Amino acid sequence: MTAVGKNWIWFVAIMALVLALGAYLGNSRRADLGKSFDYSLDEYRVVDPALMGYAEEEPLVPSITNITSLAIAEDGTIHVGGENAVQTLPDLHTIALEATPTSLALDADRVLFVGLRDHVLEIAKDGTRKAWDSPGEKTYLSSIAADDWYVYVADAGNRRIWRHSKLKDGPPLEIGEKDWANDVRGFYIPSPMFDLAISRTDGSFWAVNPGYHALENYRPDGMPLSTWEASGMTIDGFSGCCNPSHFALLPDGAFVTAEKGLPRVKVHNVDGSLRCVVAAPNQFDDTVKGLDVAVGADGTIFVLDPNRNQVRVFKEIQ
Amino acid sequence: MKPTENKRRRDFTRGALALLVGGAALSAARSRSPKLVWQIDPEQCSRCGRCATHCVLAPSAVKCFHSYSICGYCDLCGGYLRPDAKGRNTGAENQLCPTAAIKRTFIENPYYQYTIEEDLCVGCGICVEGCSVFGNGSMYLQVKHDLCVNCNECAIARACPSDAFKRIPASEAYLLKSDQEKRIG
Ligand code: SF4
Ligand code: SF4
Ligand code: SF4
């Protein structure tokens, strides 16, 4: 080999070394910041199989998109709110709306109450519609529940529950104002997740106080009855700063709770202790938020999964 | 002078003139085009941690920003507390930020305010991850322009796996999450 050829080989080799060193420094300089810079929720995503009390069945798939809210009629018909519509499942009958619902409820007469962010739209069985007055500017109606006497509307924006009498005998009753003198701490709602449900037995209602990780029981006149709370990432608690994001009541009064952040669905006994897990975090996308839940008369649990645009079905393992 | 020499001289003069005019037009266009700076699109950032490790500056020119208008002022702040925190207090063992750059201040029961001490922040994005997963996503990363040396090719932008680095006009150098944000460095 000539001297010129040898010089070329040296030149190419040195250049390759310089480039490789540059790439290495560029990619790995201070790359390892140390263990304290790790952030992992992996240990909380694993659920002891012995705690799994429900098995998943085939999901129901609506044809509307952007699904947000779930309600079940007394006859078992499932109603799903989504992109500018409410749809019944499994027959896919669609009721068109001018906006996407933020909440949904049905009463025993099959009157549909649709939360359209700042006001309620009432749709009677014959299709006649009536828009209610909005409670105010900041209103965000995150949940509705109705019995024979009242329609309760949870307003996450104003941190209030509005109780509307079906007799239409006056303005709605405002529930949730802070009253430290009587030990009423008010609702603490960091993000628009504020769910409520009417007890199946005594006409009282339950509401989530998400900033406290609490479920609170109230008389229809707004007087507090009882409360329980459970904070923590471990399976028996509620994680993050505003959970449970949604809940529903089982026929025996137990709570079906759904969380965001660490998405999981569980059953808590009436005293708040954990009964079992319905769906573990690894059954959802990490980013899923808004797992609305509903319970059928036979105890079947329905979970609205906005990421998959499905209503997922869970039956108790016998 | 031969006619061919004459033509060559004419061509040269024309070429030089075109170069001069072109150059002047280019520099005029340049001085008119806005100065661009690097910035992170918070919606695209996946909190990979490279903002802390790949900046040419140490510590990084990337810092955590906090939007008070989006924050829930939570007692149990996912950006402040470690997932396995035993208590909701300022104990070092409970704090998620490895450099203790986040200050927790009691406002009124049950609200707390969280402020970022910029000098201590290294832009690792762990708090941003915690706040996005469990909170309202009010914490996010931005390139601080009083620190950034505006490299021609930002070393973080080259390494960013989410294509979150953008070139934006220096006149509006931040991609803030909320218009109501007061804290602009
Ligand atoms: S490198 Fe990109 S994705 Fe990673 S933290 Fe920085 S901006 Fe976010
Ligand atoms: S956790 Fe990281 S990004 Fe957040 S304040 Fe601390 S050093 Fe800055
Ligand atoms: S442009 Fe340079 S100094 Fe600025 S953030 Fe990127 S690497 Fe750091």
The binding-site residues of ligand 1, defined as CB within 6 angstroms of any ligand atom, are B 40, 45-48, 50-51, 125, 141, 156, 160-162, 164
Confirm or reject contact between A31 and chain B (CB < 8 A). Answer: yes
Max CA distance (Å), chain A: 106
Q: Is the pLDDT assigned to residue B64 strictly greater than 90?
A: yes
**CA nearest to B74, candidates B106, B97, B47:** B106
Q: Is the pLDDT assigned to residue B131 strictly greater than 70?
A: yes
Return the pLDDT at B32.
57
Interchain contact, B110 vs A36, CB within 8 Å: no
Cβ-nearest to B74 among A190, A233, A262: A190
**CA nearest to A223, candidates A189, A163, A175:** A175
Find where tokens 């980013």 sit.
A287
Beginning with the edge strand found earlier in the chain, give each strand of the sheet holding A224-229 in spatial order: A196-198, A205-209, A214-218, A224-229
State both tokens at B135. 């909170």
Is there a contact between A256 and A248 (Cβ–Cβ < 8 Å)?
yes
Cα-Cα-Cα-Cα dihedral sign, residues A149, A134, A194, A85: positive
Size of interface A-B (CB pairs under 8 A): 80
In a mutational test of the pocket of ligand 1, which residue from B38, B40, B132 has the highest number of ligand atoms less than 8 Å from its CB?
Answer: B40
Return the pLDDT at B33.
66
Rounded CA gap, B38 and B166, in Å?
6
Find where tokens 């005594």 sit.
A202
Long-range contacts from A128-137, C-beta under 8 angstroms, 24+ separation: A132/A164, A135/A160, A135/A162, A135/A172
Return the pLDDT at B84.
86
Cβ-nearest to B110 among A188, A231, A261: A188
Return the pLDDT at A16.
60
**Could you identify the atom of ligand 1 that is nearest to the CA of residue B163?**
2
Rounded CA gap, B107 and A142, in Å?
27
Return the pLDDT at A303.
98
CA dihedral A294, A307, A161, A299 (to 10 degrees): 10
What's the pTM value of the predicted model, to 2 decimals? 0.83
Rounded CA gap, B74 and A213, in Å?
11
Find where tokens 């997932």 sit.
B83
Is there a contact between A116 and A101 (Cβ–Cβ < 8 Å)?
yes
Is there a contact between A290 and A66 (Cβ–Cβ < 8 Å)?
no
Q: Where are the domains of chain B?
A: 1-33, 36-184
Return the pLDDT at B185.
33
Helices (H) and strands (E) in chain B, counts: 4, 6
Is there a contact between A124 and A107 (Cβ–Cβ < 8 Å)?
no
Rounded CA gap, B73 and B91, in Å?
18
Cβ-nearest to A39 among B109, B129, B135: B129
Tell me which ligand sits closest to the C-alpha of residue B114: 2
Return the pLDDT at B87.
84
Return the pLDDT at A3.
57
> What are the CA-CA distances from residue A26 to residues A231, B54, B157, B162 (Å)?
43, 7, 12, 17
Per-residue tens of pLDDT for chain A, all 318 residues: 555 566 776 766 666 654 554 444 444 443 457 888 888 899 999 999 999 999 999 999 999 999 999 999 999 999 999 999 999 999 999 999 999 999 999 999 999 999 999 999 999 999 999 999 999 999 999 999 999 999 999 999 999 999 999 998 899 999 999 888 877 899 999 889 999 999 989 999 999 999 999 999 999 999 999 999 999 899 999 988 789 999 999 999 999 999 999 999 999 999 999 999 999 999 999 889 999 999 999 999 999 999 999 999 999 998
ipTM: 0.76
Cα-Cα-Cα-Cα dihedral sign, residues A94, A97, A103, A104: negative
Return the pLDDT at A26.
44
Long-range contacts from A260-264, C-beta under 8 angstroms, 24+ separation: A260/A193, A260/A288, A260/A289, A260/A290, A260/A291, A260/B134, A261/B78, A261/B133, A261/B134, A262/A41, A262/A44, A262/A45, A262/A233, A262/B133, A262/B134, A263/A288, A263/A289, A263/A291, A264/A47, A264/A235
Q: Which residues of B lie inside 8 Å of A (Cβ-Cβ)?
A: 49, 52-54, 58, 72-78, 83-84, 96, 98, 109-110, 122, 124, 126, 129-130, 133-136, 155, 158-159
Return the pLDDT at A257.
98
CA dihedral B73, B79, B80, B83 (to 10 degrees): 120
Is there a contact between A34 and B98 (Cβ–Cβ < 8 Å)?
yes
Rounded CA gap, B72 and A159, in Å?
13
Give the pLDDT mean for B110-137.
95
Interchain contact, A185 vs B73, CB within 8 Å: no
pLDDT digits (tens, 9 = 90+) for B19-44: 555 555 545 554 556 799 999 999 99
User: Phi and psi at residue A258, in whole multiples of 5°?
Assistant: -125, 140
